[in-house]
Structure formats: structure tokens, C-alpha cells
Amino acid sequence: MNRPALILFGGLCYVLFNVTFLYLAGFLLELPLPKAINDGTLQPWHIAIPINIGLVFLFGFFHSLMARARFKAWWTQYVPEEAERSMYVLQSSLFLALAMWQWQPMPATLWLVEGTAAAIFYGLFGLGLALVLISTFLIDHFELFGLRQVWFANKGRPMVKPVFKTPFLYRHVRHPMQLGVILVVFSTPHMTAGHLLFASLMTVYILIGLYFEERSLVREFGPTYLAYKARVPMLIPNPFRTISANLAET
């Protein structure tokens, strides 16, 4: 892949992911879009549930598989190494789009709130979006989405090996981005059976994905990451644990 094409490919994958993620927000909040989470032809539950589980499984399986070092080593025999992250972003966008497109509605209402209670849910939803966005910039937004890789390749410069760092939110939870996603999928003033299924499946996938991600981080950073795990909670902030661990180190 020549350098201008590489830059174009990386940029298009980045744009596609952002469009897909923004659509996900509208999908979950039931905004007037071509398809929202409770839209579509109703199917019997014994048909809808397996289809929906399969859609999230496809997203989660490839999202986790393509993040593994062994797969990357095999995959980069066939695609340029500098385009590997952009390919990862592309497949994430496509499988998430597929899940939303083919999601089978299960519109039985579990809760529906208005007024102040609804505002609280919308506030938590916004907080989740903010956590996701801020977290990407705290680590390296452009590397996370493959833009830095294609830009460095275009300039003929090698990528710098990542260093372990824990800026801002990462001092309070190890995975603030995933915490933000969980807030996004659960925070709705209108919770239906289908929405709860989507939120629950995505949360299960996140927990499974974090198990494998943390194993990779321990292999990469060793005792440094183990000490970080002992000091900082995974998803739920616990200031008392953080303070106690900091005092133990002094």
C-alpha cells in the first residue's frame, strides 16, 4: 500500500468509527434514526434472543481476537504493519454497525422515567461519553485509532515503543474508557428488555476482554503493571483503596 493510500485508508477508518459510535448513541437513546434499538419487526423471543446474542458475540469475538499479539503477528504477514490498527478500527466499526442494523427489537418496557429522573439518566449517559473521549486522549487518541501509525509510516519514521503511564483518570480506575461504555449502554430513561440485553451482553464482553487485556499488559510491563493493579481498581473508583496503597508505598 503506497503512502498516500495508507493515509487515506487510516483517515477513512477513523471517520467511519466516529460516525458509527455517534450513531450508537442515537441508537441507544432512540433518536429519530433509520434504526434505533427498539425499532424493527417483532420476532418471537426464542428467535430474537439468539440473534441478538450472536450479533454481540461476533463483535466481541473479532474485537478481542484482533487485539491479541499472536493474531497481530499472523495478520501482519498479509497486511502492512502500519495499517494493522486501522484494520482493527475498521472491523470494529463494521461489526458494531452490523449489530445495530440487525438488532431484533424486544420492546417490553422495564422502566420509563421522565422529568428529573430522566435528566439524571441523560447526565450519566453524557458522563459516559465524556469518559470514553477523554480516556482516548489521555493515553494516545491518534495511536489508538491508527492515525499515528499511518502518519509515521508516511514520514518514514518508526513508531516509538509505548511506555506505561497513568494520567488523570487512570489514577482512579485502570479502565475508564470501558467504564464510560458501560455507563453509555445502561443509562437510559426508557429501558426495554432488548436494551437491557444489549447492555448486559456488552458488559459481559467488556469484562472478558479486560481479562485478556490485563494478561497482555502484565506480560508487557511486568511488576510495574502488577503494582498498578494492586493500587488502582479496575472499573469502580475506590478512593480509600487508592489512598491506602499510596501510603503503603511511602
Closest CA to 177 of 219, 127, 227, 228: 127
- Residue 160 is predicted with a pLDDT of 81
d(CA 128, CA 21) in angstroms, rounded, equals 13
- Residue 127 is predicted with a pLDDT of 98
pLDDT band at 12 (very low <50, low <70, confident <90, very high): very high
In this predicted model, what pLDDT tens digit does every residue of 130-139 receive, in sequence order?
999 999 999 9
- Whether 15 maps to a domain, the answer reads yes
Contact (CB, 8 A) for 88 and 72: no
In this predicted model, what pLDDT tens digit does every residue of 98-120 receive, in sequence order?
999 999 999 999 999 999 999 99
- Whether 244 maps to a domain, the answer reads no
Letter for the amino acid at 52?
Answer: N
- Residue 244 is predicted with a pLDDT of 58
pLDDT band at 69 (very low <50, low <70, confident <90, very high): confident
Provide φ and ψ at 69, rounded to 5°.
Answer: -60, -40
**C-alpha distance from residue 19 to each of 23, 41, 216 (Å):** 6, 25, 29
Asked whether the predicted pLDDT for residue 91 surpasses 90, the reply is yes
Contact (CB, 8 A) for 37 and 192: yes
- Residue 154 is predicted with a pLDDT of 80
Least confident of 45-49, 63-67, 155-159: 155-159
DSSP structure class, residue 232: S
Asked whether the predicted pLDDT for residue 47 surpasses 70, the reply is yes
- Whether 180 maps to a domain, the answer reads yes
Contact (CB, 8 A) for 172 and 138: no
Structural domain boundaries enclosing 169: 3-239
- Whether 106 maps to a domain, the answer reads yes
Closest CA to 31 of 156, 188, 165: 188
- Whether 54 maps to a domain, the answer reads yes
- Whether 250 maps to a domain, the answer reads no
- Whether 183 maps to a domain, the answer reads yes
- Whether 247 maps to a domain, the answer reads no
Provide the domain count of the chain.
1
| Distance, C-alpha 102 to centroid of its chain | 20
Contact (CB, 8 A) for 136 and 144: yes
The per-residue DSSP string of 91-150 comes to HHHHHHHHHHHHPPP---EEEE--HHHHHHHHHHHHHHHHHHHHHHHHH-HHHHTTHHHH
Asked whether the predicted pLDDT for residue 4 surpasses 90, the reply is no
DSSP structure class, residue 163: -
d(CA 177, CA 133) in angstroms, rounded, equals 8
pTM attached to this predicted model: 0.92
